[in-house]
Structure 1
Amino acid sequence: MNSISTAKLLGAIEAGGTKFICVIANEAGEILMRRTIPTEQPQKTLSACDDFFVEAKLRCGSISALGIGSFGPIELNPNANDYGYIKQTPKPGWSGTNLVGFFSQKLGVPVAFDTDVNAAALGEHTHGVTQGCDNFVYVTVGTGIGAGVISGGLLVQGLGHLEFGHILIPRHAHDVNAVSNCPFHENCLEGLASGASLNLRAPSGVSELSLDHPIWIAEIYYLALMCANLTQIYAPEKIVLGGGVMLKQGLLPKIHAEFLRLVNGYAHERILEKVESYIVPSALDGVAGVVGALALARSVS
């Protein structure tokens, strides 16, 4: 065992629908070990995560706490009988999986638990583009769509966590015959604008399609409409857009222009005058969830 084992160590898991990212880090956030594990059946995936932490203990030392940012829906009420569980989810085999219980038993340390998008919002708040900004919305536009809202420096929670990906929206004229990717809603944001929904429209991929293609014209409309709704509902100081879909070159300026068209002058003058400083890209794209999960672990260590 090397010298870093004497320092307090933290564990984190970004539990996504396609992969689990497991890390060990020191208190400063320096990642010492990292492993990506495919999201397959729960027993196989969780056992592989456990193997990682067993190996990490031998190489680095014991962790003092674990933070998990998970895909959902999940139960976040600590007084609920199913706290720490993944609830009814479209991900085959994962409904009813007790994530907190599994890792609490295996690792014997405190486990902090939240949604993957809330973890990413925390990551941006602590180390990303919204440092010093206590009122913002972080949106991930990837396989699915989710939003984490921080107000007054705290995550907004209610009876359950936010499910902004399932707000109902009008279809774009180019998209009237498209099949929704959501099994629950024909006209929700995730069903029409997520990466998975884009792949339904173009199975060979959309990354090479021009932004003038009807698929991207509709996508720009949906994401700008999302930002307009967030603006009017939450009045944030910033909207941060992350996730794989946002990696499309030139997409963000198109969203800016469509957003301004949709709000039609009805927004704070700071937004209208400098929209590029209001709707901004993630500074931690690809690692925001892990950074936030470490922040969760730090809160209970």
Structure 2
Amino acid sequence: MIAGIEAGGTKFVCAVALDPQTILEEIRFPTTTPEETIAKALNFFMEMQEVHGPITSLGVGSFGPIDPNPGSPTYGMITSTPKPHWENIDIIGVLKESMDIPMGFDTDVNGAALGEYLWGAGQGLDVVLYLTIGTGVGGGVVVHGKPVHGLTHPEMGHIAIPRGDDRDSFAGVCPYHGDCVEGLVSGPAIAARAGRPGQDIPAEDPGWDTVADYIAQALCTYICVLSPNRIIVGGGVLGQEHLLERVRSLVLKKLNGYIRHPFLTPEGISQYIVAPGLGTKSGVIGAFALGLRAARES
């Protein structure tokens, strides 16, 4: 039996499965303090072992920034996060104290990208980009079956977005960068700009044009830099169906025919910028993938 944790800044999703797409049981609960939240996860896994038998590996896809380098002294830690109380928390170290099994660790979006590459909308492709736009904005990339790491890991939600202050004077909500992608189009950013949550804003509100424009600018940057075979977009903000269509159209407009491919046409764009093939399970199934990979490597 494998176990997975999708450790989000808003909620934790913990699950156990016989294989990545056969989930036996799952639990969701708010992300509060590290002590309380990790304890809930461990209690769930202990209960599951009593019911279903031993867990053989565990994967954790975590909000970040994190240290994903196994050779680093801070491997397994959440590092410079703005999430209160979670900075420098050794999440893998705490889990290892109670569960001495192989554990995989990466960002939640790298995990989701890996899950989509193996079993979702990224199957059979060389370069897969997974982007989530919700409470935060994050992007993960899988190249030839491996999540991208370098100095640390991609931080796609924190690139700068060109904009004219005459069009939008909103300062942004990111505590580090103000008006980066996350600071401008995350759920909290949309609510701060409009004075109400995104789900309460009608589709015809002109504010959505600004949000779509910023998302499209970010996607164009990712396309030019990474040349992904497919972009998979998830998260609560993109749950607004009208928004995804606006983003697709704006991506084509901004690329302006420079990058030529059948997917980058009005007829092909809906096959290129797509919703997750695993639906809302991309994160936790990606965590299973991280756990299975750790078991193989051990």
TM-score by length of 1: 0.93
Instruction: Note if contact 1:129-1:282 (Cα within 8 Å) is conserved in structure 2.
Output: yes
Q: CA deviation at 1:10?
A: 0.5
Segments of 4+ moved more than 3 angstroms: 172-175
CA offsets 1:155-187 (integer angstroms, 9 cap, x no match)? 211010100100011236676321311001122
Matched residue, 2:280: 286
2:239 to 241, 247, 251: 247
Matched ranges for 1:180-259 at <5 A: 180-259=172-251
Query: Judging changes above 3 Å, is the alpha-carbon distance between structure 1 residues 184 and 295 closer, same or farther for their aligned structure 2 residues?
Result: same
Instruction: Note if contact 1:19-1:38 (Cα within 8 Å) is conserved in structure 2.
Output: yes
Distance 2:124 2:15 in 1: 26
Q: What is the one-letter code of the residue matched to 1:266?
A: Y
Deviates further, 170-179 or 104-113 = 170-179
Query: Judging changes above 3 Å, is the alpha-carbon distance between structure 1 residues 33 and 168 closer, same or farther for their aligned structure 2 residues?
Result: same
Query: Judging changes above 3 Å, is the alpha-carbon distance between structure 1 residues 230 and 201 closer, same or farther for their aligned structure 2 residues?
Result: same
CA offsets 1:175-230 (integer angstroms, 9 cap, x no match)? 63213110011221111111121111234322242344232111100111111111
Instruction: Note if contact 1:240-1:281 (Cα within 8 Å) is conserved in structure 2.
Output: yes
Distance 1:268 1:28 in 2: 36
CA offsets 1:133-164 (integer angstroms, 9 cap, x no match)? 12121111111111111222322110101001
Q: CA deviation at 1:51?
A: 0.9
Matched residue, 2:119: 127
- Determine if the alignment matches structure 1 residue 299 to structure 2 residue 297: no
CA offsets 1:223-275 (integer angstroms, 9 cap, x no match)? 11111111110111111111111110222111111111111111123133311
Q: What is the one-letter code of the residue matched to 2:41?
A: C
Distance 1:108 1:269 in 2: 48
Matched ranges for 1:70-219 at <5 A: 70-171=62-163, 176-219=168-211
Distance 2:21 2:152 in 1: 29
TM-score by length of 2: 0.94
Q: What is the one-letter code of the residue matched to 1:196?
A: P
CA offsets 1:49-104 (integer angstroms, 9 cap, x no match)? 11111111111111001000000010111111111011011100000111110111
Instruction: Note if contact 1:145-1:190 (Cα within 8 Å) is conserved in structure 2.
Output: yes
Instruction: Note if contact 1:179-1:200 (Cα within 8 Å) is conserved in structure 2.
Output: no
Distance 2:36 2:278 in 1: 29
Distance 1:243 1:276 in 2: 18
Instruction: Note if contact 2:187-2:198 (Cα within 8 Å) is conserved in structure 1.
Output: no
Matched residue, 1:45: 37
The aligned length equals 293
Distance 1:80 1:101 in 2: 13
Q: CA deviation at 1:22?
A: 0.7
Instruction: Note if contact 1:110-1:300 (Cα within 8 Å) is conserved in structure 2.
Output: yes
Unaligned residue ranges in structure 1 (runs of 5+): 1-8
Query: Judging changes above 3 Å, is the alpha-carbon distance between structure 1 residues 266 and 11 closer, same or farther for their aligned structure 2 residues?
Result: same
Matched residue, 1:272: 264
Q: What is the one-letter code of the residue matched to 1:287?
A: K
Deviates further, 9-18 or 251-260 = 251-260
Instruction: Note if contact 2:198-2:237 (Cα within 8 Å) is conserved in structure 1.
Output: no
Instruction: Note if contact 1:174-1:214 (Cα within 8 Å) is conserved in structure 2.
Output: no
Distance 2:225 2:194 in 1: 32
Q: What is the one-letter code of the residue matched to 2:273?
A: I
Instruction: Note if contact 1:195-1:245 (Cα within 8 Å) is conserved in structure 2.
Output: yes
Unaligned residue ranges in structure 2 (runs of 5+): none
Percent identity of equivalent pairs? 39
